[in-house]
Structure 1
Amino acid sequence: MSDHTRIETDVMDVARARALQATLGQMPTIEFGHRLPPFFHQIYFWDAQTPDKLGRDGHPAVGGFIPDMGLPRRMWAAGKLVFHRPLFAGARAERASHIENVVRKDGRSGPLAFVRVRHDIRQRASLVLSEWQELVYRPDEITTMTEPPTAPTGESAAETVRYDATQLFRYSALTFNGHRIHYDVDYARNVEGYDGLVVHGPLHAHMLMGLAERQQGDLTEFTYRATSPVIAGEEVTYCWKDGAVWARGANGRLCMSGQAR
């Protein structure tokens, strides 16, 4: 656990929010003062590092806010969000971040480190959102992927999407995510061992939150966990039933699961 807290401020820029709507295939309708949809805060509070402070994968190099554990490859594996109040477009907000926990384990694919980061976002002196990110760090060499579980069926609502390289690039740009697996296909294949460009885990969470909100109204809490990557060009179906959400890959595998309240 770290006592170090990182404070960032940003304006919830309307143009950026409208660009995200367009990237997600929605009509850009957000105006100044509108309530931002769930997870739109991901396009703010950029960790803007100079090129010399980035790792080979495009992420900010470990050893700063995230401790250096000798495991350079990063994956955003899971998360939890608690929505206290609406976050409004056009107004300034502050995010306080600190590391809650670091755990090292030996997994089937080798040594791993699990880092839990907590973010609290305030706007107009009120706490509007608490978020926990579960990050996994692995060795640099390519590891064998484990067999993912099979996704449920029988959903009450669903949306099927097929992402292309342009959408992934735009989402990376809006979230200031430099991870090369999302836009550098040679790196994704030859260095990290994927079959092609990888769809962002947070993008799946984003789509599942939107689906849940359309089915059950304003959300108070959302949890999610990634289980299998989705490659650009592959169909993924976002599913909802009674508050349970999941992303199903083209071959029926479970790519992400979660719960919306």
Structure 2
Amino acid sequence: MQPTPTPSPLGSYLASWAPGPVTAEDALAAGPAAALSAVLDLPEPVTRDGGLLPPLWHWLYFLRWPDQRELGTDGHPRNGHFLPPIPHRQRMIAGGRCEISEPLRLGEPAERVTSLGTVTAKQGGTGELLFVTERREFRQRGRTRLVEEQDIVYRSGRGAAHHPATLDESAAPDPDGTWRLSLHPDPALLFRFSALTANAHRIHYDTPYARGEEGYPGPVVHGPLLALLMLELARRHAPARRVAALSYRLRRPLFAGERLLASGTPSGNGAEMRIATHREARHATAEVTFA
């Protein structure tokens, strides 16, 4: 019997991988912000040129649309400047941080400079993981207004994570926190959010693929959508207070059809937020600091 080959450590694929910074420009037109306002059923859409862009809404801009032939069978790009060259790559957003000295303004040209931060290989419960941090600086009128770091986790091949076999779409989470915002995401909402963020990953809108190929009980709710919902709590309940810094962590996936509750607790000069379902009290968490 031949011994089972030992997979190469992920770090061995990165010896010559050192992508340099990339600069992009965007006019920050009001259209994408108006579209997200519609997806979230906002009573007062964010549409006015010169208006302040809410925290994390810059994810609607500086988008990359690769040619269709550049996508893998999962809908995710096969290659990219900041995608590490590891085999059978699987990608998950773990969390991030953001410092906002001045909010970005709609209708004003902006520049984004993206660079590679730390790269660390760690051994997890389901195998080796590669943690990659991307750093992004956003500038308008020659001033740096926002600095973001996003932590992305990669693995080679699929993990052995356990997900519920079926979903109870009627169950609701227990109320928690002073600020509350409920959402019942369906595949149509996830499809619209995928379109707004140029995210063609099939786990978010293709139910047969999500179930048959990835082992999920249904389409997966986007991690960035959960982060935006938590920040929406601060925007709706403390509209006069400007967010100067924030951090978020994405812990457990949730799925289309599940009822979720975003809740927050203000304290001192900030607030703590979380996303819950009846299955899990903290699918995602966030903290904000007000100016």
TM bucket, shorter chain: over 0.9
Query: Which consecutive unaligned segments of at least 5 residues does structure 1 have?
Result: none
1:115–1:135 CA contact under 8 A, matched in 2? yes
* CA offset digits 1:190-232 (Å, max 9, x no partner): 2222110111000010011110233342101110111111101
1:35 aligned partner: 52
Asked whether the equivalents of residues 229 and 262 of structure 2 are also in contact (C-alpha less than 8 Å), the reply is: yes
The answer (yes or no) to whether the contact 2:274–2:283 under 8 Å persists in 1 is yes
Which is greater in Rg? 2
Q: How far, CA to CA, are the matches of 2:288 and 2:192 in structure 1?
A: 26
Paired AA for residue 91 in structure 2: R
Residue 91 of structure 1, CA deviation: 1.4
Cα distance between partner residues in 2 of 1:81 and 1:71:
30
Q: Is 1:101 aligned to residue 125 of structure 2?
A: no
Distance 2:58 2:218 in 1: 28
Task: Note the C-alpha offset of 1:254.
Answer: 1.5
Q: CA contact under 8 A between 1:53 and 1:60: conserved in structure 2?
A: yes
Q: Does 1:246 align with 2:274?
A: yes
Partner of 2:20: 4
Residue 140 of structure 1 deviates from its aligned partner by: 2.4
Match of 1:110 in 2: 127
Aligned mate of 2:257, from 233, 244, 247: 233
* TM-score normalised per structure 2: 0.83
Kept after mapping to 2: 8 A contact 1:142/1:193: no
Higher mean Cα deviation, 59-68 or 3-12? 59-68
2:216 to 194, 198, 216: 194
1:46 CA displacement: 0.6
Structure 1 residue 71: deviation in Å? 4.7
Structure 2 residue aligned with 1:86: 103
Tell me which residue corresponds to 1:48: 65
2:253 partner amino acid: P
TM-score w.r.t. the length of structure 1 is 0.92
Once the two structures are superposed, residues 9-68 of structure 1 have per-residue CA deviations (whole angstroms, 9 ceiling, x without a partner) of: 111111221011001111434211111111111111012211222233222224633221
Say which SS state the counterpart of residue 254 (structure 1) adopts: coil
SS at structure 2 position matched to 1:58 = coil
Q: Does 1:137 align with 2:154?
A: yes
Do the aligned partners of 1:7 and 1:94 also contact (CA within 8 Å) in 2?
A: yes
Aligned residues: 258
Q: Distance in 2 between matches of 1:70 and 1:63?
A: 14
Unpaired runs of at least 5, structure 2: 1-16, 165-172
